[in-house]
Chains A and B, each alone.
Chain A
Amino acid sequence: MLPLRFRRVTMSARVLVGVKRVIDYAVKIRVKPDRTGVVTDGVKHSMNPFCEIAVEEAVKLKEKKLVKEVVAVSCGPQQVQETIRTALAMGADRGIHVEVSGKDYETLGPLQVSKIFAALAKKEQADLIILGKQAIDDDCNQTGQMTAALLDWPQGTFASEVTLEADKLKVVREIDGGLETIKIKLPAVVTADLRLNTPRYATLPNIMKAKKKKIVNVKPADLGVDVSSRLEVLKVDEPPQRQSGVKVETVHDLVEKLKEAGRI
Chain B
Amino acid sequence: VMASGVTVDASLKDDFNAIKLGHKYAYMVFKIEGESQIKTERVAENSTYEEFIGTLPPNECRYVVYDYKYTLDDGAKREKLLFIHWAPDSARIRDKMLYASSKDAIKKELKGVVEIQANDMSEVDEAAIKEKVKASG
- Asked if chains A and B come from one complex, the reply is no
